[in-house]
Amino acid sequence: MTTLAPPTTQIGHVHLKVADLDRAIAFYSGVLGFEVMQHFGKGAAFLSAGGYHHHIGLNTWESRGGTPPPPGHTGLYHTAFLYPDRQSLAQVLQRVLDAGIEIDGAADHGVSEAIYLRDPDQNGVELYRDRPQADWPRAADGTLAMVNAPFDLRQLLTEA
């Protein structure tokens, strides 16, 4: 018997092992705009959007000075940060570009518009905004029909 998670279930936070706590805070707070809620000793910090206790945990407990896993190994593919609208997505994209961070890619998935990049520890990061559910593309049988179409970041920046 399959038990489904309740539809209101959410992913509460992501906790990342990082090599340099200050460098990671500079990215997640200084570039992406999350607020530092608490430092936990010298080895961890918790960041949030909107005053929540934390959406992002960062620690160096087992990883201080470490290196990213090599390609072809298991691990986190990316974290995804949902922005409320196109203007907010455009604003964070502008901050990413201003910080000199390279964009790995961008895509219009029909249900969302997404930008892909890497944090200082080479963890994948997706910055995205959802379209209203009523606008999501669907197949004849009603299932989602997501796509991987080009997403014009230059046009998005005009909304910043």
Provide the domain limits for residue 154.
Answer: 78-160
**Is the residue at 38 inside a domain?**
yes
Regarding whether 91 and 33 lie in a shared domain, the answer is: no
Residue (of 94, 95, 126) closest to 113 by Cα position: 126
pTM: predicted TM-score of the whole model, two decimal places: 0.91
Q: Which helix (H) or strand (E) holds 15?
A: strand 14-17
Domain CATH number, residue 148: 3.10.180.10
pLDDT tens-digit profile of 98-141? 999 999 999 999 999 999 999 999 999 999 999 999 999 999 99
Same domain, 41 and 99: no
45 and 101 fall within a common domain: no
Residues 54 and 85 in one domain: no
Is there a single domain that holds both residue 46 and residue 109? no
- Residues 101 and 149 grouped into a single domain: yes
Domain count, the chain: 2
Q: Please indicate, yes or no, whether residues 87 and 157 belong to a single structural domain of this protein.
A: yes
What are the tens digits of pLDDT across the range 37-62? 999 999 999 999 999 999 999 999 99
Query: Is there a single domain that holds both residue 83 and residue 152?
Result: yes
Contact 151, 115 (CB under 8 A): yes
Distances (CA, A) of 25 to 49, 57, 78, 149: 14, 10, 17, 32
